[in-house]
């Protein structure tokens, strides 16, 4: 009698379909996607710009004395650690010391009304990349936005003078 | 004495809700699976608190080019130092790749970067004019800086100056921000 039967009872579906095979297939697919699934790590970026106007064309770069904060990073195999200092200062023993030296220079520039200065990271090849990123991170946290990477100047191919 | 019931019931479990749930699970995993082009290699990104959320990586139409600097996979070359989380300074263990293609050779990398930069120059007819296309350097945290410097130097030679450094937010903060 209508209204007294449960949903899914055999009387509703006179043609019985064997769903076991389908369940098996779905199980297999589920296992495949579960095994291949990985949660994406939350990624971000730290912006930096390379200098546009130095060592790019055939004219030699003029030796300008730049206003900059240069952070020097060196790998010390003895202590198995990265040594960091701001040019003109002593090596910093901690993040706080390093950032104090950077902020001190920044404050001096701001007092002099200088706004167009970069922070240049001058690291040796042996320094781990995570240490470089750590310094960039500290700078960004302290409102230093213009970060550049230092590199040795390329030798400029000079054209032979016309005969 | 209680009578032993000898009634045999025909128990047929209702499979329909289970199938529904499995379909949902299947849909979730299928949609979550990364079937896209392998632009990102497996790297352990350095952690940084000041990273900006990377919205461009979600956009399919982004113009940004990604340079991956990653350690060779464990199956290919076992490296005890890398496995222990130390810095691997073996130059041969590091690879530079763009869209799944190996560009560890600097000259080949430069050629590729020049090609990629071609359509984004301020003056398209001048190969020495600056390129406005951003490039993300996505390097492993255990990579020596020299590997990253190599990639950055090639970007500079290709007149690409907008460089982004890939980093991940520390786990506690990533969870806090959801």
Residue at B27 is within a domain: no
Q: Is residue B46 part of a domain?
A: no
Residue A57 counted as domain residue: no
Chain segment B22-72, per-residue pLDDT in tens: 888 888 888 877 665 567 777 888 888 888 776 655 555 568 888 999 998
Q: What is the mean pLDDT of chain B?
A: 81
The alpha-carbon gap from B4 to the nearest alpha carbon of chain A, in Å, equals: 29
A49 to chain B: which residues are within 8 Å by CB? 161-163
Give a yes or no: residue B107 inside a domain: yes
Q: How large is the average pLDDT for residues A73-87?
A: 89
- Taking only the tens place, the pLDDT of each residue in A105-133 is 888 888 888 877 888 888 888 899 999 99
Chain A contact set for B166 (CB, 8 A): 43-45
Question: For residue B93, what are the domain limits?
Answer: 61-172
| Reported ipTM exceeds the 0.90 cut | no
> Closest Cα to residue B156, out of B67, B63, B47?
B67
Asked if residue A89 belongs to a domain, the reply is yes
Split into its structural domains, chain B has a count of 1
| 3-state SS, one letter per residue, for chain B | CCCCCCCCCCCCCCCHHHHHHHHHHHHHHHHHCCCCCCCCCCCCCCECCCCEECCHHHCCCCCCEEEEEEECCCCCCCCHHHHCCCCCCCHHHEEEEECCEECCCHHHHHHHHHHHHHHHECCCCCCCCCECCCEEEEECCCCEHHHHHHHHHHHHHCCECEEEEEEECCHHHHHHCC
Q: Which of B48, B90, B127, B168 is the best substitution to test chain A (most A C-beta atoms within 10 A)?
A: B48
Residue B26 belongs to some domain of the structure: no
A16 domain residue, yes or no: no
Instruction: Quote the strand ranges of chain A, DSSP E.
Output: 43-49, 69-76, 81-86, 91-92, 119-123, 147-149
> Which domain range does residue A145 map to?
69-149
Task: Say how many domains are in chain A.
Answer: 1
Report the residue count for chain A. 163
Does some domain include residue A22?
no
Contacts 24+ apart (CB under 8 A), B32-35: B32/A33, B32/A37, B33/A33, B33/A36, B33/A37, B34/A38, B34/A40
Instruction: Tokens 């991956």: give the residue.
Output: B68
- What CA–CA distance (Å, rounded) separates A73 from A124? 6
* A34, A52, A133: residue with CB nearest B165: A133
In a domain, B80, yes or no: yes
User: Which residue in B26, B130, B145 is closest to A129 by CB distance?
Assistant: B145
Judge contact between B158 and B111, C-beta under 8 A: no
Predicted pLDDT of residue B68:
92
Report CB contact under 8 Å: B48, A123: no
């Amino acid at each position: 009698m209508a209204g007294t039967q449960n949903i899914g009872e055999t009387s509703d579906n006179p043609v019985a379909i064997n769903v076991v095979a389908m369940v098996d297939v779905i199980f297999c697919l589920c296992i495949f996607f579960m095994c291949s699934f990985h949660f994406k790590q939350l990624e971000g970026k730290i912006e930096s710009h390379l200098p546009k106007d130095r060592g790019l064309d055939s004219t030699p770069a003029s030796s300008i004395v730049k206003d900059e904060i240069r952070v020097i990073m060196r790998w010390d195999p003895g202590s198995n650690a990265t040594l960091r200092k701001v040019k003109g200062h002593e090596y910093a023993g901690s993040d706080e010391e390093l950032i104090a030296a950077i902020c001190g220079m920044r404050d001096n520039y701001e007092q002099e009304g200088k706004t167009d200065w970069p922070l240049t990271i001058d690291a040796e090849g042996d320094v781990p990349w995570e240490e470089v990123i750590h310094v960039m991170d500290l700078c960004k946290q302290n409102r230093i936005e213009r970060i550049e990477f230092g590199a040795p100047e390329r030798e400029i191919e000079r054209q032979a003078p016309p005969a | 004495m209680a009578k032993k019931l000898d009634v045999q019931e025909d128990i047929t479990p209702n499979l329909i809700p289970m199938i529904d749930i499995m379909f949902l699970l299947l849909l979730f995993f299928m949609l979550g699976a990364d079937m896209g082009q392998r632009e990102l290699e497996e790297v352990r990104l350095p952690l940084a608190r000041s990273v900006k959320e990377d919205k461009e990586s979600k956009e399919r139409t982004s113009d940004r080019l990604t340079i991956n600097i990653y350690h060779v996979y464990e199956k290919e070359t076992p490296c005890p130092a890398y496995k222990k989380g130390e810095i691997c300074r073996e130059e041969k263990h590091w690879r530079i790749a763009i869209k799944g293609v190996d560009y560890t050779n600097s000259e080949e990398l430069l050629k590729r970067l020049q090609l990629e930069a071609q359509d984004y120059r301020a003056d398209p007819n001048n190969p020495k004019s600056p390129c406005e296309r951003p490039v993300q350097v996505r390097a492993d945290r255990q990579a020596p800086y020299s590997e990253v410097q190599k990639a950055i130097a090639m970007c500079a030679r290709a007149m690409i100056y907008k460089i982004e450094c890939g980093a991940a937010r520390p786990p506690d903060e990533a969870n806090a921000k959801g």
